[in-house]
Amino acid sequence: MLDLVKQGERIRVFRDGKPDAMLVPIDDHVDPSWDEIMKEVRAMQKEDGPQLENPVLAERKRRDYAAHLR
């Protein structure tokens, strides 16, 4: 499996029929960089107009960040 991942494949690992993990190549960008996430926050802080939803919280909601805590 690691040879396939090294060739660029992404492999889902299941436990008891449910997805439990994902093997991805080390250079695969799974999450956006912190600078990319904070770029919107910094731009909002400079604006005096209406406040937009916090992009960090929006990203967490989009990914269902706390799903594993349920």
pLDDT tens for 44-57 read: 777 766 666 777 88
Query: According to DSSP H, which parts of the chain are helical?
Result: 2-6, 34-46, 55-63
Q: Alpha carbon 31 to chain centroid distance?
A: 4
Query: E strands of the chain, at which residues?
Result: 11-15, 18-23
Report CA 40 to chain centroid distance, whole Å: 16
What is d(CA 44, CA 33) in angstroms, rounded to the nearest whole number? 18
> In which residue are the tokens 């967490």 written?
60
Task: Using 70 as the pLDDT threshold, list the residues of the chain that sit under it.
Answer: 48-52, 65-70
pTM for the complete prediction? 0.41
Q: What is the pLDDT of residue 16?
A: 94
